[in-house]
Amino acid sequence: MITQYQSHTLVQHIQRGWSLFSEEMNEFVDLLPAQQRMKGENWYRGTADAVTQNLDIIRRYKAEYVVILAGDHIYKQDYSRMLIDHVEKGARCTVACMPVPIKEASAFGVMAGR
C-alpha cells in the first residue's frame, strides 16, 4: 500500500483489519510511505502517479497479480471474486467502479467509459 498524506489511521486499519492474508500462500499487503523519489517532483499527484513512482518496488515482487486501489476503495472488501473473474477471462487489466450521483462524483476518482 502506497500512502501519502496523514496516513496513520489508514495504516492502522490495514494492520488491524486486513489480517486475512496467508504468508504461506505469498499473500500480503506491503506498506510504502510516500517519498519524493523523482527529480523536481513533489508528493504523488494521484493513484496513477503513486504507482508510476513505485513501479520498481512493485516489479521487484514479481507478483502474478497486483490489485491497485485508490484510498476511497480501501475497506474490508473481498476482491477475490474480481480477481477470479479477471483470471477466468484472461484479462490484461480489470477496473472496478460503481455509479454515483453526479453531485457526489467530485469526491471520488472519476472514470469515463465509451
Are 82 and 96 contacting, i.e. CB atoms less than 8 angstroms apart?
yes
Contact yes or no for 79/20 (Cβ under 8 A): no
What tens digit of pLDDT does each residue of 61-110 get? Answer: 888 888 887 766 666 577 889 999 999 999 999 988 878 898 988 887 77
Grid cell in block for residue 110 = 472519476
Q: How large is the average pLDDT for residues 25-38?
A: 65
Give percent above pLDDT 70 in the chain. Answer: 54
Residue 38 has pLDDT above 60, yes or no: no
Task: State the pTM of this model.
Answer: 0.59
Q: What pLDDT sits at residue 1?
A: 60
**Is the pLDDT reported for residue 37 higher than 60?**
no
Region 14-39: mean pLDDT is: 65
How far is residue 72's CA from residue 61's CA, in Å, rounded to a whole number?
25
Q: What is the mean pLDDT of residues 47-55?
A: 82
CA distance 15 to 19: 7
Break the chain into its structural domains and give their ranges. 8-105
